[in-house]
A and B are shown apart, each in its own frame.
Chain A
Amino acid sequence: KAGVTQTPRYLIKTRGQQVTLSCSPISGHRSVSWYQQTPGQGLQFLFEYFSETQRNKGNFPGRFSGRQFSNSRSEMNVSTLELGDSALYLCASSLDAMNTEAFFGQGTRLTVV
């Protein structure tokens, strides 16, 4: 079966712009989580969606938002980009809860200039 697909793979944006990242989970998976990965902070949880509802949110500012569609696909949006938002953004999907296996996408590399 197809794995978790994230698009685009690379993005370069300017400070102040906004960006939308997309994640298609494995077919049948209803839980989608987003993580930010940076050399300094490692992997940090952004939020998790299940059946179109945000179940949990990490400690990120309100500029970071997301949503999930009825087909479980998820999008993440970052508004008013800052240089510090440059990171690899990873999406993970699982059948239900995260205590089952989480499958990760390849990530979207966002560079803010």
Chain B
Amino acid sequence: AQRVTQPEKLLSVFKGAPVELKCNYSYSGSPELFWYVQYSRQRLQLLLRHISRESIKGFTADLNKGETSFHLKKPFAQEEDSAMYYCALVSYGNKLVFGAGTILRVKS
């Protein structure tokens, strides 16, 4: 079965510290992976997708097929990065399968 695992419910870091939000997946085939973010009182929105290999707001994520991971990283956290982050993959039947989410709290 397709599954996305985000092992941390909460990640708390100081401003300026590096951030790594972990995501592991199980999927037979070539997965399409995404990171979605939900800021306080805002709608869920796409942050980045692996196929684009882009950096958004300083965040990057590399697909590691050997480790079946798609960790989200940022070298220097900012207070405005505080939000809920969801890792997701597109599964058979064109549906998004989400992880449980990780709350990132950036302290000043």
Contacting residues, chain A, for B99 (C-beta < 8 A): 42
- Which of A98, A101, A102, A106 gathers most chain B CB within 10 Å? A98
State A107–B97 Cα separation when bound (angstroms). 18
C-alpha spacing A44/B32, complex, angstroms:
18
Give B56-96 interface residues, CB cut-off 8 Å to A: 86, 90, 93-96
| B43 pairs with A107, CB closer than 8 A | yes
A-B contact number at CB 8 A:
54
Whether the pair A45, B100 counts as a contact (CB closer than 8 A) is no
B43 A58 Cβ-Cβ under 8 A = no
* CB atoms of B96 and A104 under 8 A apart: no
Return the chain B residue nearest A106 by Cβ. Answer: B43
Residues on A with beta carbons closer than 8 Å to the beta carbon of B10: none
Size category of the B interface is 10 to 19
Do A43 and B94 form a contact, CB below 8 Å, given A102-B46, A104-B44? no
Interface of A, helix, strand, loop or mixed by DSSP = strand
Q: Name the interface residues of A69-105: CB closer than 8 Å to any CB of B.
A: 90, 92, 97-99, 101-105
Selected from A42, A97, A101, the residue in CB contact (under 8 A) with B46 is: A101
A90-B44, A104-B44, A104-B45 known; A99 vs B90 contact (CB < 8 Å): yes
- A87 CA to B70 CA, complexed, in Å: 28
In the complex, what residues of A have CB within 8 A of residue B32's CB? 99
B48 smallest CB distance to A (angstroms)? 10
Instruction: Evaluate contact between B95 and A58: CB separation under 8 angstroms.
Output: yes
> Which 4 pairs show the lowest CB-CB distances between chains A and B?
A56-B93, A43-B98, A104-B44, A45-B95
Q: Which residues of B come within 8 Å of A, CB atoms?
A: 32, 43-46, 49, 51, 86, 90, 93-101
